[in-house]
């Protein structure tokens, strides 16, 4: 493949008619994208990443946006909502999970690692550097371990920068109703916020009538409140 690409690039230096040149340039472009996609990257938790050129396929992250690797999967997972081979992301192998800063909150998305590349921290500047620093701070907050795991009966609230659902409000005190091994919901699809979030607690949230509504959450986003 490398030899073919070199040959095509060399041909562009030769005299050729416009139609042949355009076809050759398209061939070079396609092979370059193929090379980028097929080149394997070893990712580590905490790496900063962005799209490889020409391989963006979603509205988030934006083409020049920085993400942070929050998980490297031992085996690919697949979006169960993509049921037609006519969908470009049908059976897309989702191999890494990345965090993005959306509205000052960290949100996690599963991605095809072949479409992403590592951004060395020392190469960042300007808005990208600011974004990377913000993401690193949010990721540290997300993964900071409590002195002891949350347990039923604990009074909790959102950690700063962790609110990812309409309820509860920031600062609102809630109660842990149940703790269990992580449950990975795939109902909303890989492009949606919350796809395969590791929900491991049920939390009771008081409503305006004084009743308690119970929802499942990722316990990493909550902190214990000392009364």
Q: Give 3's pLDDT tier (boundaries 50, 70, 90).
A: confident
User: pLDDT per residue over 90-144, tens digit each?
Assistant: 999 999 999 999 988 999 999 999 999 999 999 999 999 999 999 999 999 999 9
Asked if the model's pLDDT at residue 26 lies above 90, the reply is no
pLDDT digits (tens, 9 = 90+) for 163-219: 999 999 999 999 999 999 999 988 788 999 999 999 999 999 998 888 999 999 999
Helix H, strand E, coil C: the string for the chain is CHHHHHHHHHHCCCCCCHHHHHHHHHHHHHHHHHHHHHCCCCCCCCCEEEECCCCCCCCCCCCCCCEEEEEEEEEEECCCCCCCCCCCCCCCCEEEEEEEEECCEEEEEEECHHHEEECCHHHCCHHHHHHHHHHHHHHHHHHCCCCCCCCCCCEEEECCCCCCCCCCCCCCCEEEEEEEEEEECCCCCCCCCCCCCEEEEEEEEECCCCCEEEEEECHHHEEECCC
Whether this prediction's pTM lies above 0.85 is answered by yes
pLDDT of residue 11: 78
Sketch the domain layout of the chain as residue ranges.
2-38, 48-143, 155-224
How much is the pLDDT for 187?
78
Residue 214 confidence (pLDDT): 97
For residue 227, pLDDT over 90 is answered with: no
Given a cut of 70, is residue 1 above it in pLDDT? Answer: no
């Amino acid at each position: 493949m490398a030899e073919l690409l070199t040959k095509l690039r060399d041909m562009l230096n030769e005299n050729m008619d416009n139609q042949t040149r355009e076809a050759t340039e398209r061939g070079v472009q396609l092979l370059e994208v193929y090379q980028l996609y097929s080149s394997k990257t070893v990712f580590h938790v905490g790496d900063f990443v962005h799209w490889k050129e020409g391989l963006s396929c979603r509205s988030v992250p934006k083409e020049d946006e920085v993400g942070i690797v929050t998980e490297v999967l031992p085996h690919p997972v697949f979006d169960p909502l993509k049921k037609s081979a006519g969908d470009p992301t049908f059976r897309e192998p989702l191999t890494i999970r990345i965090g993005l800063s959306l509205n000052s909150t960290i949100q996690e998305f599963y991605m095809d690692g072949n479409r992403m590349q590592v951004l060395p921290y020392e190469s960042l500047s300007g808005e990208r550097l600011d974004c990377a620093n913000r993401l690193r701070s949010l990721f540290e907050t997300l993964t900071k371990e409590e002195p002891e795991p949350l347990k039923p009966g604990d009074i909790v609230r959102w950690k700063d920068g962790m609110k990812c659902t309409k309820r509860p409000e920031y600062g609102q005190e809630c109660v842990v109703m149940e703790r269990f091994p992580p449950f990975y919901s795939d109902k909303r699809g890989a492009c949606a916020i919350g796809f395969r979030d590791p929900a491991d607690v049920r939390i009771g949230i008081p409503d305006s009538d004084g009743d308690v509504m119970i929802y499942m959450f990722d316990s990493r986003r909550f902190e214990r409140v000392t009364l």
